[in-house]
Chain A
Amino acid sequence: QVHLVQSGAEVKKPGASVRVSCKTSGYTFTTCDINWVRQATGQGLEWMGWMNTDSGNTGYAQKFQGRVSITRDTSISTAYLDLAGLSSEDTAFYYCARTGCGDYDFDYWGQGTLVTVSS
């Protein structure tokens, strides 16, 4: 059974960085891409970027270029989202989701991680 389990909630000060992890199980990690999507309170879904977990290639939404990084550790089937230069506008739930395998994209999602940015 496929599972994507994310790390716990974070509280950060403005200007700081945050790392969110996404530990996968139930499938071969390197056969699927991992995407990161965020959702501010009461707002819609916003795609941030993706990683080919086999090659390590990444792609990021233009809005986040320069302050977002997606990495992975294949030995523990885990992907990471790093976001730098946090501001209150980055307060949101962050989700990882799987694409590029199975019958359709975004078939499995993590449970979400709340990142709160507050002074």
Chain B
Amino acid sequence: SYELTQPPSVSVSPGQTARITCSGDLLTKKYAYWCQQRSGQAPLLIIYDDDKRPSGIPERFSGSTSGTVATLTISGAQVEDEADYYCYSRDNNTNPIFGGGTKLTVL
């Protein structure tokens, strides 16, 4: 079955740039999306269609895709950005599929 692969954890100091990757063969043909999930909360979409940001999401969040790898970049990470981040996309049957998630630590 199709999978999206993310690193389990990423750690940065406040003000540094955090990059979280998501690998999947179908990312050459399907959009990547990213959501943020803070502890005890529902997920929140922060990037859609590879690189678009919904209104209200800070500009420090950006997305890009190159080949089979999508990347979420947080420029100048803040303590409040500490959360789990999930990429998702769709498989050949257009069903949503989520990556395993990456725990971002900012300290």
Contacts and interface: CB of A to CB of B under 8 A. Distances in A.
A-B interaction: yes
A107 B49 CA distance: 12
A45 B42 contact: no
Contacts of A107: 45, 54
A44 B45 contact: no
B79 interface: no
B92 to A, nearest CB: 13
Given A44-B86, A45-B86, A45-B88, A106 B95 contact: no
Contact of B96 (A44, A47, A103): A47
A104 B52 contact: yes
B95 A45 contact: no
Contacts of A16: none
A112 B44 CA distance: 13
B35 interface: yes
B43 A45 contact: yes
Given A104-B48, A107-B54, A44 B42 contact: no
A106 B98 CA distance: 12
Contacts of A109: 42-44
Interface string A86-115: 000000000101010001111101111000
Number of contact residues on B: which range applies?
Answer: 20 to 34
A106 B54 contact: no
Nearest to A60: B95
Nearest to A110: B42
Interface in A2-24: none
B55 to A, nearest CB: 9
Nearest to A44: B101
A104 B100 contact: no
A59 B99 CA distance: 20
20 contacts: A37-B96, A37-B98, A44-B86, A44-B100, A44-B101, A45-B86, A45-B88, A47-B95, A47-B98, A50-B95, A95-B42, A97-B43, A104-B45, A104-B49, A104-B52, A105-B33, A106-B45, A106-B88, A106-B96, A109-B42
